[in-house]
Structure 1
């Protein structure tokens, strides 16, 4: 099943490239159809997943490069499954949202001045959708890989379609942003490659995760290998101070690509921390925990403060994500079941809430021709549905109770507080700052007097609403009832906790006759 899920979008991407020139509409239809099929198959697979069964399910393992012990080995536990589900649910919605926007990449709907500034095409519209499908195949593969070398291959390969999407279809600084994204990611990937080879040299002649996780490494060796993996994942996530590529890449990427970049690709970093850093190097992970927690707390506050000061909508959302990734890393390295379950759920919830924010920002940019906050004002009077969806997405981003992000953020803070009280208290300040940057952004764009250029703005079309409605529904549903997702996540988290040999702190019980 997993090989099929990887192969379908890959073959679809190849098929789209073979379409005759000028068949852009057919390319869109093929991409949308294949992404829907992949989503349906994934949901069917998820329904057959048994949380209380074997840790890795739907496993396949075949020799790939036998001389070096490399396998085509795939399988999913609860954490990988929910992240694959996130990826395949977002993809058809991104394609639907990019339906008309993609025509602008080809210059069909832009005046010459804007065409020169934004999108004189280096690639055709059908190439854009072929790149999206190839990116989907890579995203599924990176979360499904149970061979460390195969994981590394997908980890690096998914840079290629995203690089071309940003560099060919992005904003005026697209070349700079694409190269910066690629160089940062390649640097981290090369460090991880050295660590992967070194880990193989210490092991039983295989890259299989299950075998490598049984190794008893020398403490010094484990620390160096941990650093090799962690730096690569910290760049991908990104954590401060490895974050500077994200605002540029997300700000210049077309809207659909920004959704996938921040909503899914960056989760590979935090997923790698939870899966590889903790389980392959448990003693080193505990040794580095104070450093990682410090970086996470700095990222929470730093990202939020910079978001408050942004004048560009896409860059603002990108900086909010830096703050949110700090919460995710904090939950992972709190070394409690609540923290790690909350961090994993946060990956999913952040993916959907950020997707909604980026899509709505993209719709605003298409209507107004600008991403600057001061280009808007009073939008809710002329486009109330757009403003309403923007409010729900924004409130989810600031973790309002009743919306999805609240549960995950609460679990992270509770899980951290039971072991590290001071970092948890400082991180809680990020909640206040989130209210500032979200509500102030909403007030400046949606409320107040209607700006003259905004008066003729159209509300959401049926296509745009169809792309947003499922995300909004998921945000509300997971806010009220996250139990099904947590039931899938929790057994995998417990396995990680066991591997790291950590237990949740015992609750503090007040002595009889004293106040708690």
Structure 2
């Protein structure tokens, strides 16, 4: 029941927010998002971390004659993704309080509707329910970006929509085929898919149908071209949703729906995927170094980080998968914090160009501290959240192939280059005309950044808090893959 409540509460709250006119909508949306976070903590309190299977499940017929069920539940991987979602959404809503968006009730209702889709993706145990929630998450973010985005928002969001729908159709085709292969009364339950005895040829093409859908969402090179423009043109809150949570849908899809269903297909193509992921690491990092727009720089850095996560999980060893799970949490926290700080700088200076900034630290000591902590987490400094995930991921890649591991390890060096150069150009040096009267953080802005910084150190200092939750599920997943 608690899983169903987690799924439907944001949608019910969104309907309430739609009825509220004026700026009161943001306060109701924030309270609703906090309630959702409290529900996720309650779910965690009833979760047995030693059990690697599905818990807190609910299953009843949806289309009974077709064997399609409304089946939801959570294992250790799912619940961490739910916690990430419910932790970040209130902060994303709170980060928007300084903005006066037109039709705020619609804006905040769309955020809550999107949260329903995101939660649905992470708890769905039925293929067609997963596909339905996948699309539910897409629609709100499309309208948020298209209505409240920048000057080129229509062209950019249309490209994003076409890319995503294109991938979704491949996923749907694969799910329909898998469904038709289940014996007797067909079933679309994930466990029924796990038990299918598919030939090597079948697994090969199903692999690519599913991988393309998930790779576009992450995105993995060369399926990434929609991402930088979409992140840049979208309003900051949409960018946070896309980078902090939505791209995790693609990574989660690989872990839940790709690796265990077509293990022979994975074994045929895993090396190619690793090569693409490593190309993405180097490509994203080099392009990030060349960027002068803060938002585009962080967008390209995200491609590099996701490339490492993809490389790690396709090693099919425990370190790589555990690293992927913990890095999803860390990346979500760091990238949301960085995009919020960029939004703070833009709101005070009306520019995101590094060459037009400088000297901010002279007037904004608190901002400098928060910015540096989140930046160090992003470049994987030991004792921060990014270090745990990157260490496990690189360990997994080195176990697979030491040459691939060495090249993937460039993410640490290149990440430090573009992040520290960005910090130096923005925060140090001589004040510019745009930063002359720069003011430090407000209480509202600190209320967003403090929880993020706490998580940077919590994951960095006490990673077993989270690794112990996902470990049994990862081991169970590996047993299914290697059966």
| Structure 1 length-normalised TM | 0.92
Cα separation, 1, equivalents of 2:375 and 2:50: 35
1:312 aligned onto 2:293? yes
- Equivalent residue for 2:413, pick from 432, 451, 455: 432
- Equivalent residue for 1:69, pick from 64, 67, 70: 67
Please name the residue that 1:188 is paired with.
167
Please name the residue that 1:264 is paired with.
245
Please name the residue that 2:177 is paired with.
198
CA contact (8 A) 2:113 2:140 kept: yes
Please name the residue that 1:117 is paired with.
none
Cα separation, 2, equivalents of 1:377 and 1:407: 32
- Equivalent residue for 1:246, pick from 200, 224, 227: 227
1:94 aligned onto 2:92? yes
Please name the residue that 1:509 is paired with.
none
Please name the residue that 1:121 is paired with.
none
CA contact (8 A) 2:52 2:76 kept: no
Report the 3-state secondary structure (helix = DSSP H, G, I; strand = E; otherwise coil) of the residue aligned with 2:59: strand
Cα separation, 1, equivalents of 2:299 and 2:456: 19
The alpha carbon displacement at 1:49 in A equals 1.1
Cα separation, 2, equivalents of 1:452 and 1:18: 43
Cα separation, 1, equivalents of 2:154 and 2:477: 40
Please name the residue that 2:80 is paired with.
82
Please name the residue that 2:25 is paired with.
27
Cα separation, 1, equivalents of 2:434 and 2:480: 58
Please name the residue that 1:129 is paired with.
108
CA contact (8 A) 1:334 1:420 kept: no
Cα separation, 2, equivalents of 1:275 and 1:291: 20
Deviations 1:227-269 (Å, cap 9, x if unpaired)? 1111000000000000011101111111111111011100111
Moved more, 49-58 or 346-355: 49-58
CA contact (8 A) 1:368 1:375 kept: no
Structure 2 alignment gaps of length 5 or more: none
Please name the residue that 1:330 is paired with.
311
Please name the residue that 1:212 is paired with.
193
Deviations 1:310-366 (Å, cap 9, x if unpaired)? 111111111000000111011101111011101111111000011110111111111
Query: Pairwise mapping of residues 361-372 of structure 1 onto structure 2 (< 5 A)?
Result: 361-372=342-353
- In 2 relative to 1, CA 445–54 (structure 1 residues): closer, same or farther, beyond 3 Å? closer
Deviations 1:44-97 (Å, cap 9, x if unpaired)? 111221121251000000111123221111001111110110000001111111
Please name the residue that 2:393 is paired with.
412
Please name the residue that 1:394 is paired with.
375
Cα separation, 1, equivalents of 2:475 and 2:22: 48
CA contact (8 A) 1:314 1:361 kept: yes
Structure 1 alignment gaps of length 5 or more: 107-123, 503-516
Cα separation, 2, equivalents of 1:180 and 1:461: 36
Report the 3-state secondary structure (helix = DSSP H, G, I; strand = E; otherwise coil) of the residue aligned with 1:362: helix
1:15 aligned onto 2:29? no
Report the 3-state secondary structure (helix = DSSP H, G, I; strand = E; otherwise coil) of the residue aligned with 1:453: coil
Cα separation, 2, equivalents of 1:431 and 1:126: 42
Please name the residue that 1:45 is paired with.
43
| Structure 2 length-normalised TM | 0.98
Count of residue pairs the alignment pairs up: 480
CA contact (8 A) 1:230 1:273 kept: yes
Deviations 1:155-174 (Å, cap 9, x if unpaired)? 11211000000001111111
Query: Pairwise mapping of residues 104-183 of structure 1 onto structure 2 (< 5 A)?
Result: 105-106=101-102, 124-183=103-162
Report the structure number with the largest CA radius of gyration: 1
Deviations 1:400-433 (Å, cap 9, x if unpaired)? 1111010110011112112211100000112100
